[in-house]
Amino acid sequence: MCKHILNVQVAIRAPCCKQWFDCAECHAERSDHRLRRTNEMIFLCKKCKKAFRKDMSEYDEQDEYCPHCDNHYVLPAVEPKAALMVEGEDARVDSKMLKDERVKGDASRSIFTQDGSSRLG
Ligand SMILES: [Zn+2]
Ligand SMILES: [Zn+2]
Ligand SMILES: [Zn+2]
């Protein structure tokens, strides 16, 4: 599973190591080499599970669709980080409540702050 792009529609076959990856970052994480760039990319549609190749040097709008099932596989990447940031919209309002309160550390005085004088350094 790709954790970089949540709505990934195709797997990409890396031309360098002949392995299937969901995105270039997945390849970077699992490989010790750079993804080789090539004009002819091989994709595997996740919808119909069929492979197809595309010449990236003459990539056209119609090439954004799977030739087997017409699945529109070129989608704007939805990244997990971006999804989290949506909830932070109104953070400005909440920030007023964040006063400069100093956390008192009394509770942390426990076994960790024992007098260590009896110990040999
Ligand atoms: Zn590779
Ligand atoms: Zn990935
Ligand atoms: Zn397809």
| 3-class DSSP string for 106-121 | HHHCCHHHCCHHHCCC
Mean pLDDT (whole number) for 52-80: 89
Task: Pull the structure tokens for residue 101.
Answer: 């309160």
Q: Are the C-beta atoms of residues 22 and 5 closer than 8 Å to each other?
A: yes
Residue 92 pLDDT: 53
Percent of the chain scoring above 70 in pLDDT? 66
pLDDT above 50 (res 88): no
Residues lining ion ligand 1 (Cβ < 5 A) are 14, 16-17, 31
Interval between CA 74 and ligand 2 midpoint (Å): 15
- CA 104, 107, 108, 113 dihedral sign is positive
Task: Pull the structure tokens for residue 75.
Answer: 């989608």
Residues lining ion ligand 3 (Cβ < 5 A) are 45, 47-48, 66, 68-69, 71
Spatial CB neighbours of 25, under 8 Å, sequence gap ≥ 6: 4
Interval between CA 64 and ligand 3 midpoint (Å): 11
Interval between CA 11 and ligand 2 midpoint (Å): 10
Cα 105 from Cα 102, distance rounded (Å) = 9
pLDDT above 90 (res 79): no
Considering every ligand atom shown, identify the ligand nearest to the alpha carbon of residue 72 and give its number.
3
